[in-house]
Amino acid sequence: MKKLILILSIFIFSGMAEAAITPPDSARKARIEALKKKRRDLYIQKLDLTPAQADKFFPIWDDYELQLREAKKTFKRKWEGKDTENGLTEEESAQYLRDAMKLRETEMNLMKVATEKLIPAITAKKTLKVKKVQREVQRELVAEVRKNRGGKQRLFDY
């Protein structure tokens, strides 16, 4: 009986500890929405987009980023947990290199399609700045998340 009470106590206290660490879904969603808004505002500011250009830019850019993220996830899932420097056979190494080249090819094709769509939407001059602005926006958003979480809470679970 004492063991049962001890086990139940452990479950109850571990649940309480988890609840204290994990914010409610609504608070988490609010933080994610705030970051999305900040991301949008940063792109608009740094690229100096008009409202009409912003309306055209974000569907194109969001689609590009989504497809790129999916391609990278697929590659990562396939090779996750494998020691790609020392633990592969010759054939596995050759396959890894083929997959890595295919990922780069996919990245280039996605960027080509996005660029072709962006030029008429926001001008060639602004399209030229998009990748640099992407890095700046990402850096600022990561800094914001780190500042807000204080090392305690993950915002995204990948």
81: left (phi over 0), alpha (psi -120 to 50) or beta: left
pLDDT 10s digits, 67-108: 999 999 999 999 888 787 778 889 988 999 999 999 999 999
φ, ψ dihedrals at 22, nearest 5°: -90, 120
83: left (phi over 0), alpha (psi -120 to 50) or beta: beta
| Radius of gyration, CA atoms only, the chain | 22
More confident residue, 17 or 133: 133
Q: Domain coordinates of the chain in residue numbers?
A: 24-75+106-149
More confident residue, 102 or 19: 102
Instruction: Provide the pLDDT for residue 23.
Output: 58
More confident residue, 57 or 145: 57
- On the question of pLDDT at 150 being above 90, the answer is no
